[in-house]
Amino acid sequence: MSNQVSICVIGSGYVGLVAAVCFAEMGHRVIGVDNDENKVRLLMEGGVPIFEENLSQLLAIHRGRGVEFTTNLAEAVERSEAIFIAVGTPQGDTGAADLSYVEAVVSEIARQINDYKVIVEKSTVPVYTNEWIRRVLHRHGVNPRTFDVVSNPEFLREGTAISDFLHPDRIVVGASTDRAAEVLKRIYEPLTSGSYYERPGALAGSCSFARPAKLVVTSAQSAEIIKHASNAFLAMKISFINAVANLAEAVDADIEDIAQGMGMDRRIGPGFLRAGLGYGGYGVDFQLLDEIRKINERQKDIFVNKVLSTLWTLRGKRLAALGLAFKGDTDDIRDSPAIGVIKKLLEGGASVTAYDPAANERAKAMLAPSEKMRYASDVYEAAKDADAVLILTDWSEFGDLDLARLGKTVRFPILIDGRNLYKPQEVHEHGFTYVSVGRPQTVTHSSANQAG
């Protein structure tokens, strides 16, 4: 491949591992670096540390050929033309991103640069981090002619991250020099030319040879703001529809009908107009959008109050919680509304048996197993003798339950749906009291009498 680029990806979390595998799928030579020896060993032996659709298949194809893994950052930097930084930037006690991992990596990169490298910030970072990285390199005495720093934010949805990477809505590159921009253009050329989509076995998606991916070149600061502004706007849409859902409930309107009517307006669009427990998985750090965060946090309290008002009291109740990840098709529990809701239910005196198709093990670190907090291996084990079943994550399998079987498994046929996965009449016909978000409650007299 004439445009093949040697790439180093530092960090093998959601962003880093997806990027490394997708760059290999595009035809580049990739070295994935992580300081966690156990994780690197797992990857080298054919394991996959995270749940992500298509990830294990692509790793099986490219491991040892297009992509390799190591703990030796120095060697990886020396062998690479482009260095992508994809390490974690968790929120600190003040709510600001903790950039200590980024700084540590940049300091180590500085010791290895002996010819021209493009250093790419791929982690979610505050605006102006690009310039901050440049200053750290200068402080370490790195010749400014031997490097450029580029911002290349990710816009991946966990659960569909591989598809999002290879079939992006847009690729944003924030570069201060033409030389650096050209390296990034070479990296993404298989997508922007459409050549990738003509290859045998290419992952199918929204892009094609006729409709290739689009690349936008901006300043580094603009690229960083595009990332944060996009997150903020999506969070605003989610919080807005949840605020409308609370109004809809108050007047017995149906939020699904309202969202459909709004989404048909081309200026608004249907995306992210789904009422529920609120968003998770990414933060919003715009001061003027503090109200968005408040609305999002209130959704958890509102949902817990739905459970409380349906059951009268939480103390002594046994609840089945379906879902632990912040969304379906991922095992990521960071900022998951489901975790927050379960904690509030436990504090209220309920006992919870939870099930998630992928996130059970990760959740145990935040919700330790106990007499009150148990984990099940499937939906029906979780629901056995439950006073109510709660849907907390939008896994597709939770929207396709055998309601007849579920009704025979639970103690009381009560389904409280925080993701609006069902039509109320469908659930009601199976004898359930059905409580959802932004829609009128349907009550069966038998379960209402039992629950009271």
CATH 3.40.50.300 fits 6-154, yes or no: no
Per-residue three-class SS string for the chain: CCCCCEEEEECCCHHHHHHHHHHHHCCCEEEEECCCHHHHHHHHCCCCCCCCCCHHHHHHHHECCCEEEECCHHHHHHCCCEEEECCCCCECCCCCECCHHHHHHHHHHHCCCCCCEEEEECCCCCCCHHHHHHHHHHHCCCCHHHEEEEECCCCCCCCCHHHHHHCCCCEEEECCCHHHHHHHHHHHHHHHCCCHHHCCCCCCCCCCCCCCCCEEEECHHHHHHHHHHHHHHHHHHHHHHHHHHHHHHHCCCCHHHHHHHHHCCCCCCCCCCCCCCCCCCCCCCCHHHHHHHHHHHHHHHHHHHHHHHHHCCCCCCEEEEECCCCCCCCCCCCCCHHHHHHHHHHHCCCEEEEECCCCHHHHCCCCCCCCCEEECCCHHHHHCCCCEEEECCCCHHHHHCCHHHHHHHCCCCEEEECCCCCCHHHHHHCCCEEECCCCCCECCHHHHHHHC
Structure tokens belonging to residue 208: 């094609």
Task: Compute the distance between CA of residue 324 and CA of residue 343 in angstroms, rounded to an integer.
Answer: 11
* Neighbour count for residue 5 (Cβ, 10 Å): 21
Within 8 A by CB and 6+ apart from 111, the residues are: 74, 140
| Model pLDDT, residue 349 | 94
* Neighbour count for residue 200 (Cβ, 10 Å): 4
| Model pLDDT, residue 92 | 60
Amino acid occupying residue 218:
T
77, 83 in Cβ contact below 8 A? yes
| Domain ranges for the chain | 6-154, 287-451
Same fold, 6-154 and 287-451: yes
180, 83 in Cβ contact below 8 A? no
211 forms beta bridges with none
Within 8 A by CB and 6+ apart from 417, the residues are: 390, 391, 427, 434, 435, 436, 437
117, 77 in Cβ contact below 8 A? yes
| Model pLDDT, residue 452 | 38
Burial class, 144, CB count within 10 angstroms (exposed 0-12 / middle 13-18 / buried 19+): exposed
Tens of pLDDT along the chain (452 residues) come to: 458 999 999 999 889 999 999 999 999 999 999 999 999 999 998 899 989 999 999 999 999 899 999 999 999 999 999 999 998 765 666 556 667 778 888 998 999 898 999 999 987 676 778 888 888 898 889 999 999 999 999 998 888 999 999 999 999 999 999 999 999 999 999 999 999 999 999 999 999 999 999 999 999 889 988 988 888 888 888 888 888 888 888 889 999 999 999 999 999 999 888 888 777 765 555 455 577 778 778 888 999 999 999 998 999 999 999 999 999 999 999 889 999 999 999 999 999 999 999 999 999 999 999 999 999 999 999 999 999 999 999 999 999 999 999 999 999 999 999 999 999 999 999 999 999 999 887 777 554 434 43
Long-range contacts of residues 339-345, Cβ cutoff 8 Å, at least 24 apart: 339/363, 339/366, 339/367, 340/300, 341/277, 341/300, 341/303, 341/304, 341/390, 341/392, 341/418, 342/367, 342/373, 342/392, 343/367, 344/300, 344/301, 344/304, 345/304, 345/307, 345/314, 345/319, 345/321
Q: What CATH code is assigned to 287-451?
A: 3.40.50.720
Structure tokens belonging to residue 368: 């330790």
